[in-house]
Amino acid sequence: MDSIFNRFYSVLLSIYIYNEYVGYTELDKLHAAIINKYPQESEFIASVRKHADDEKKHYLMFKNYFHKNKSMPFVVTKNYGYIDLFIKHIFKTDLQTLDQNELINDEKKFMNLCRLIMMTEFRGMKQVKTLLNSPLIKRNESLTKIFKVVERDEPSHCYPYQYWLKKFNSHEPRLKEKLVDLWIHYSLMLFKVPILLLNGKLKRMKEFYV
């Protein structure tokens, strides 16, 4: 029975660690682009910095969990990355090729990006609440501790982007973005996560991202 639980934890955390890693590395790039374009916006810059630092902290907490359990995360592709999928559906491009310096110079696209980050964070907040209420997580003390830190940090992550959208009188997420969010969420929950759980040939990473 324990091995079934451990398999579930490994799959769940492999998805989390990928998303936290992509999150903080992309936010680092966004932070640099904002400093370039809006050097006077110190509050916005500081809150994006705090956001990137929090995501890196989450990454390190999950990495530490694997270390303690003497195992490695499964190899998870960008098909499991929330923000990767959002960028793919809305911008029709790959997150890795997205030029944040170029994007910040296009107001419409930058507002779009702010909305996507905001929605990713809203989804993250809902997800962590669901996990903390789940008996699968409740029975694991160290994971509960980690997810409580994530739960505490998450709400502040939406603020910088909400602030920016308000500042420029831009709208909040609309139907298309909400539908994409639901599609990404349910395709992960109903198909992609079960596929990982059942795939006996899934490879472990050889080393951590950093």
Here the tokens at position 177 are 């973005």
Find the part of the chain contacting Fe ion (CB under 5 A) among 47-55, 86-94, 170-178, 199-207: 47-55
- The whole-angstrom separation of Cα 22 and Cα 25 is 5
- The whole-angstrom separation of Cα 49 and Cα 34 is 10
Minimum distance from CB of 100 to Fe ion (Å)?
18
Helices (H) then strands (E): counts for the chain: 9, 0
Binding mask 1-20 for Fe ion (x = CB under 5 A): -------------------x
The distance from CA 154 to its chain's CA centroid, rounded to whole angstroms, is 10
- Kindly state the greatest CA–CA separation across the chain: 56
Find the part of the chain contacting Fe ion (CB under 5 A) among 53-61, 173-181, 182-190, 198-206: 53-61
Q: Is 55 in the site for Fe ion (CB under 5 A)?
A: yes
31 vs 58, beta carbon nearer Fe ion: 58
Binding mask 131-170 for Fe ion (x = CB under 5 A): --------------------------x-------------
Q: Is 63 in the site for Fe ion (CB under 5 A)?
A: no
Please tell me what DSSP assigns to residue 71: -
SS3 content of the chain, % helix, strand, coil (to 5): 80, 0, 20
15 vs 165, beta carbon nearer Fe ion: 15
Closest residue to Fe ion in the complex (CB):
58
- The whole-angstrom separation of Cα 178 and Cα 171 is 13
Out of 31, 56, 58, 115, the only residue in the binding site for Fe ion (CB under 5 A) is 58
Residues forming the site for Fe ion (CB under 5 A): 20, 55, 58, 124, 157
